[in-house]
Every structure is written in structure tokens, then in C-alpha cells.
Amino acid sequence: MPIAILLVASVAVAATVLNGSAAATAPVTDVQLVKAFPHDTSSFCQGLVVFKGDILEGTGQYNQSRLRLVDLETGRPKIDIPLAGNIFGEGVTVWENTILQLTWRNGYLITYDAETFRKTGTIALNKIDRSLYEGWGITHDGRHLIISDGSATLRFVDPKTFRLVKQVLVRDGRRTVSNLNELEFVNGEVFANIWYKDQIARIDPATGRVTGWLNVAALRPASVRNDKEAALNGIAWEPTTKRLFVTGKNWPALYEISF
């Protein structure tokens, strides 16, 4: 075979391999139950964080939204702060000495002192990005806040100035992954709930590539099995003990899982 034809054939094979790799979807892994804990079924979970051994939870729905510090073992609140009736609460995270709680369509996030739980202010979402209209999920990677708005985009934000640093489009192969909801930063990856799915996306924060999926469907409680609105939503990671927790909107249990 002439060298020129051989080279063309080699290039074509390489392109096919590369394109096939880019189009491949990420693998799915079933999670294993480690332990179940009680969870308040009135809590429409929108945000979940392990905070000093307890569970910090933000809940949603108008006239029902709250910020709560909950005892892990009993599921009972130690601190329970109601939001105003016109506020729909969303994701929560803790940055240094500040708790941040997103709102859905109210146009701002709320800040609290992490020691006293006293409200300290609000930050307009359009100060972060003029195209940011809704708050869904929030976490941080130790340098930046990471915010979702229900699209396929993750926004990385300076936690001191609240200026947008970069945006990352999330993809599984060639397909964009939208409905990014509650977020958690776990061992260098962004874990994201996907609205209405019983799966969690594992996302490379540098590229937005989905590296894998965690299948949580087997843990959906029987009491909400046919309730579409009772979506899986809530991921909390304890980096010291390497414990991972999940729950959902109005679920009767919070689960520690492994995979």
C-alpha cells in the first residue's frame, strides 16, 4: 500500500476512535446503602451540607422555606429559621464563617453568620451574572462558589467579590446535561442532582465532562415512589470521615451511601 494512502487511513482510524470516545456516555454505578437516618417529611429539601457533625438543610416551597440545623441521628432540628412567605429557598453551602442560601426566583442569595445563624445580608444574583435569574444549587471547591440555575451551566464565583470567574458547560459525551440542581464538591468533583432523575452526575470541574453517574433509584422510599415532585435532591459530603449522604424532597429518610 502506498505510504500516502496508509497515512490517510491511519488518520481516519484515529479520528473515528477520538470521535467515538467523545460521544461515549459516562458509566453508571449503583450505590450501596450504609445507614438510614430519619428525615422530616415536611422538608422539601433543596440544599444539604454536613456542618460540625450535624446536617444543615435548606428547604423550599413558598410559605414553607426554612434554614435548619438538624441532628443527624434523630432528624430533629436544633435550629429552625423560617424564611418570609414570598421566598422559595434553594441550595445552601458554608464558606468560611458564612452560610449562603440561594433563593429560586427572588433574585438574590441570603447570607448568615455561621456561628449565630443571624441573617447578615443578601447578594443580588444579577451582580454575579446578568443572565443569572434563578438559584438552584450551590457548593464550593475551596476557592470558588459553584452555582447552578437549572441549565447545563455551572458558574464559578469569587466568594469575596461575588464576581463571575468562569462558566463550565456540563456534557455527557456530546449531550449537554441540563436541570443541574443541588450541588456538592466531593473529592475534587462536582456532584449534581438532576431534577426528576434518581441519578447523581459526577462532573469534572475543569472541563464540565460527566465522568460517571451514581444510580440511587433503589433507595427511593416506597412512600414517594410515585410522587414525581418528591425528587432526589440533597447531597452532603463529610471530607474528614469520607461519609456521603443523600436525601430527597419530602423523603422520610436520609441515607449514608457508598459506591
Residue 20, pLDDT above cutoff 80: no
- Residue 122: inside a domain, yes or no? yes
202 Cβ neighbours under 8 A, 6+ residues apart: 26, 186, 189, 190, 191, 210, 211, 212, 213, 214
Query: Looking at residues 77-87, what average pLDDT do you find?
Result: 98
Cell readout for 162 is 461575588
Read off the pLDDT of residues 187-196 as tens digits, 9 standing for 90 and up: 999 999 999 9
Residue 2, pLDDT above cutoff 70: no
Cell readout for 17 is 476512535
- Residue 15: inside a domain, yes or no? no
- Residue 102: inside a domain, yes or no? yes
- Residue 214: inside a domain, yes or no? yes
Residue 23: band (very low, low, confident or very high) from pLDDT cuts 50, 70, 90:
low
Cα dist from 226 to 45, 59, 221, whole Å: 18, 21, 10
168 Cβ neighbours under 8 A, 6+ residues apart: 153, 154, 156, 205, 206, 207, 208
Distance CA 48, CA 182 (A): 8
- Residue 17: inside a domain, yes or no? no
pLDDT of residue 164: 98
Cα dist from 154 to 16, 124, 135, 144, whole Å: 30, 17, 11, 11
CATH number of the domain that residue 160 is part of: 2.130.10.10
Q: What is the pTM of this model?
A: 0.90
pLDDT of residue 10: 42
Q: Which of 153, 252, 257 is nearest to 203 (CA)?
A: 153
Cell readout for 208 is 464540565
Distance CA 68, CA 57 (A): 5
Written as one letter, the residue type at 64 is Q
- Residue 8: inside a domain, yes or no? no
Query: Looking at residues 87-102, what average pLDDT do you find?
Result: 98
23 vs 184 pLDDT, higher one = 184
Residue 223, pLDDT above cutoff 90: yes
Cα dist from 71 to 52, 174, 209, whole Å: 10, 42, 35
Read off the pLDDT of residues 137-179 as tens digits, 9 standing for 90 and up: 999 999 999 999 999 999 999 999 999 999 999 999 999 999 9
Q: Which domain holds residue 140?
A: 29-258
Residue 214, pLDDT above cutoff 50: yes
% of the chain residues with pLDDT over 90: 91
- Residue 204: inside a domain, yes or no? yes
Residue 207: band (very low, low, confident or very high) from pLDDT cuts 50, 70, 90:
very high
pLDDT of residue 259: 94
Cell readout for 4 is 500516502
Other Cβ atoms less than 10 A from the Cβ of 34: the count is: 12
- Residue 97: inside a domain, yes or no? yes
What's the total number of domains in the chain? 1
